[in-house]
Amino acid sequence: MSTYSKEHLDFLKKEKRRKRGIIFTQVILIVLFLIIWQLLAYFHFINTFLFSSPLDVLQTAFHLAETNQLWNHIWVTVYETLLSFLIAGGIGLIIATLLWWFPFLAKVFDPYLTVLNSLPKVALGPLIIIWVGASVHSIIFMALMISALITVINIYNGFVETDSDYIKLLRSFHASKRQIFFKLVLPGNRINIINALKINISMSLIGVIMGELLVSKQGLGYLIMYGSQVFNINLVITSVVILGIVSYLMYYVINWIEKKSS
């Protein structure tokens, strides 16, 4: 016998229908977009040399797979993104913790974090190549510059916005700063940290693609750059589509982790 009331079961059914409706609508929108895109290309309303078409994208993807290039380029980009994501996440959490722990440091570095975060990282690309070298290290460095600062700012803002009444309550029981952080601030910001990681994974991917556009000979960013240089728009759009799929899958994994940890 179910432990839930009839009203609660009805509510759960409505929630399931609502979620299925959202997913169904999302799929329909994508399918309609692809159909309209293909029809416009088929009837020559758009120039396929400039805009490609879904069938051309599929053919390009199959060709890359047949020549054993597709998975290699995807893996390079995914590997660089995951590495940047893990490093930026660790750096962000550590620095945000230090800033919360030492309010004086937070006041000192607050304007510097704002200025560094607003700098155009792409413009620093040539300098990064000189500093780090034209290798995968410069790609990781570019990704860290883009994602780490945002992660620090988001996590730290969550830490300082922890309910002050709870902190006062713990202090009234003579709790140490370490106890307040590990018993209240850190667990209380679980959702905030996961949201920061969601932003981090997308920012890491953007940084990796920017780095690959500058120095890489492998990866989806390299395919986009190479395709634009030889005017192979099919290759450019195919790479962008694959990049979108990879980005969605990474976001889905973080979302799945969030649900499992709740």
111 lies in the same domain as 21: no
The CATH number of the domain where 94 resides is what? 1.10.3720.10
Same domain? For 251 and 158 the reply is yes
For residue 211, what are the domain limits?
52-261
Same domain, yes or no, for 26 and 61? no
How distant, in Å, are the alpha carbons of 161, 163, 178, 229 from that of 166? 11, 6, 15, 58
Residue 212 shares a structural domain with residue 256: yes
Q: What region, left, alpha or beta, does residue 231 occupy, with left being phi > 0 and alpha being psi -120 to 50 degrees?
A: left
CA dist 178 and 185 (Å) reads 10
Single-letter amino acid, residue 238: T
- Number of domains the chain contains: 2
- The stretch 227-246 carries a mean pLDDT of 92
Looking at the fold, whether 59 and 131 belong to one and the same domain comes out as yes
Regarding whether 106 and 1 lie in a shared domain, the answer is no
* Domain match, 56 and 133 both: yes
pLDDT at position 86, please? Answer: 94
Q: Are residues 42 and 87 in the same domain?
A: no
- pLDDT tens digits along 22-59: 989 999 999 999 999 999 999 989 998 889 999 999 99
- Model-level pTM? 0.86
Residue 69's pLDDT is 86
